[in-house]
Chains A and B, each alone.
Chain A
Amino acid sequence: MIGAYRPGSSLLHRMPAGPKLLGLVVALVAIAVTRSWWTLGVATAATLALYAVARIPWSALWQQVRPLRWVVLFIGVLQWITTGWQAALMVTGTLVVSVALAALFTLTTRVTAMLDLTVKLLHPLRRFVDPDRVGLVLAMTIRAVPLMVSIVQDVQQARTARGVGFSLRAMAVPAVVRALRQADAMGDALIARGVDD
């Protein structure tokens, strides 16, 4: 989701986030519920066709499903041992196609469109939760992941430069302190931008 959006003008890019999400949910439920070779085959072909329609390069598709490889291997082997190779292929195939479809949604939908959709979907619950605030929390969560990665990398490099060996405390203390200071600074910046007014 973080920075996954690929700019474009295809039909899928232009499609509003709501119907697109609904389509995704229907497809995922259909794949999970029917559990047939025929459905899986059609879903695989349709997914590949949708990537082509969206003009998303195959390398981007691979980038999205690659992190699954160890999970797929683990589940596949487990299924093979317990229920046979056909079940293993069905479960892992369903998993990969589902992730590829979900990834297509994030690859063709701006984060702002997703946030707008979240706010819209939560609107009926506005007596209990503030939809804008939930949208803001989601945006901040998305932003926090690469920031935390960057902080940990900086701390690790500083530790290496000082010739310090591995130490959980030497890693955790500066990383947590920096993260808290960064959170404080971002909070100020959000207030200054009038986000919480």
Chain B
Amino acid sequence: MPEIRFAGVRHAYGERVVLESIDLQLTERRIGIVGGNGSGKSTLARMINGLVMPTGGTVSVDGLDTHRDGKGVRARVGFVFTDPDNQIVMPTVQEDVAFSLRRSGLSKDERRARVQDTLQRFGLGEHADHPPHLLSGGQKQLLALAAVLVRRPRLLVADEPTTLLDLRNARMVGELLAGLDEQLVLVTHHLELLHGFDRVVVIDGGRVAADDAPAPALAAYRALLG
């Protein structure tokens, strides 16, 4: 599994410090990140693929610094956002997945084959020519996932991918994420999705408040919430 390393990470938006003294070495296959609103967990997740650069310290993936080698990091790390509408660019499902491979260097036939495989894998084959806005919320999130995973990253970071979904769709996306071969860092408020995870990091007030197996980490999180 890729190694994600936070070394003395600090981040501030102007005067407001959102992360402080973060030192983590993440190598597990399934990693959960939980915390209250504004705790800094999304900023932490975004640092993993270089969307946010730390104002202090370093973040690296497989030894690649997110600041110095953003391209290399992003080739390894896929990122799924809360709102799939922000990720969808093209007018049909198939084209949106194919869009991720535009600069991949693959031939047209290779791209086509990989897109078809990915659509089948996510149960979107029958929607290939549909406009994405006609899909359900769960299907849109599946499309966002497909568009990221078609690039075959080794690690997937998902920032609250089920927050906007109803229970059924949240469960469907959660099960799909749990079954992925790729290493997964999942930021979520749906704590039941972390069942079977290897490690859970609790962020509170911009610091690591707990870092343990799911049961003790989530107990610490619940205690924090009072």
Seen from chain A, the residues whose Cβ lies within 8 Å of a Cβ on chain B are 2-3, 5, 7, 110-112, 132, 135, 139-140, 142-143, 146-147, 182, 185-186, 188-195, 197
Give the chain A neighbours of B88 by CB distance below 8 A.
143
Q: If A185-B81, A197-B70, A197-B71 touch, does A3 touch B102 (CB 8 Å cutoff)?
A: no
Q: Would you give the 0/1 interface string for B122-136, flagging 1 where the beta carbon is closer than 8 Å to chain A?
A: 000000010101000
| B90-111, CB < 8 A from A | 90-92, 95, 98-100, 102-103
Give the chain A neighbours of B51 by CB distance below 8 A.
188, 191-192
Smallest CB–CB gap between A148 and chain B, Å? 13
Smallest CB–CB gap between A112 and chain B, Å? 5
**Contact status B91-A142, CB under 8 Å:** yes
Interchain CB contact (< 8 A) of B129 among A7, A112, A190: A7
**Contact status B95-A193, CB under 8 Å:** no
**Contact status A139-B99, CB under 8 Å:** yes
Smallest CB–CB gap between B131 and chain A, Å? 5
**Contact status A193-B87, CB under 8 Å:** yes
Give the chain A neighbours of B100 by CB distance below 8 A.
193-195
Smallest CB–CB gap between A100 and chain B, Å? 21
Report the Cα distance A188→B79, complex, angstroms.
10
Give the chain A neighbours of B89 by CB distance below 8 A.
139-140, 143, 186, 190
**Contact status A194-B71, CB under 8 Å:** yes
- Residue B75 interfacial (CB < 8 Å): yes
A-B contacts counted at CB < 8 A amount to 81
Enumerate the 3 nearest inter-chain pairs by beta-carbon distance, A residue then B residue, closest first.
A192-B79, A7-B129, A185-B86
Kindly report which residue of chain B lies nearest to residue A193, judged by CB atoms: B100
12 A-B contact pairs sorted by A residue (CB < 8 Å): A112-B90, A182-B86, A185-B81, A186-B89, A188-B81, A189-B79, A192-B51, A192-B74, A193-B87, A194-B151, A195-B100, A197-B103
Interchain CB contact (< 8 A) of B103 among A3, A147, A194: A194
Give the chain B neighbours of A3 by CB distance below 8 A.
91-92, 131
18 further interface pairs, Cβ-Cβ under 8 Å (given A143-B89, A191-B74, A192-B49):
A3-B92, A5-B91, A7-B129, A110-B95, A111-B91, A111-B95, A139-B99, A140-B89, A182-B86, A186-B87, A192-B78, A193-B147, A193-B151, A194-B103, A194-B151, A195-B99, A195-B102, A195-B103
Give the chain B neighbours of A185 by CB distance below 8 A.
81, 83, 86
Give the chain B neighbours of A147 by CB distance below 8 A.
85
Report the Cα distance A197→B88, complex, angstroms.
18
Report the Cα distance A5→B92, complex, angstroms.
9
| B53-85, CB < 8 A from A | 70-71, 74-75, 78-79, 81, 83, 85
Report the Cα distance A140→B49, complex, angstroms.
22
Give the chain B neighbours of A142 by CB distance below 8 A.
91
**Contact status B103-A132, CB under 8 Å:** yes
Smallest CB–CB gap between B69 and chain A, Å? 11
Interchain CB contact (< 8 A) of A197 among B74, B83, B85: B74
Give the chain B neighbours of A195 by CB distance below 8 A.
99-100, 102-103
**Contact status A112-B83, CB under 8 Å:** no
Report the Cα distance A190→B100, complex, angstroms.
9
Q: If A112-B95, A194-B103 touch, does A139 touch B90 (CB 8 Å cutoff)?
A: yes
Interchain CB contact (< 8 A) of A189 among B50, B86, B92, B129: B86
Give the chain A neighbours of B148 by CB distance below 8 A.
192-193
Kindly report which residue of chain B lies nearest to residue A189, judged by CB atoms: B87
Report the Cα distance A195→B79, complex, angstroms.
13
**Contact status A189-B81, CB under 8 Å:** yes
**Contact status B87-A110, CB under 8 Å:** no
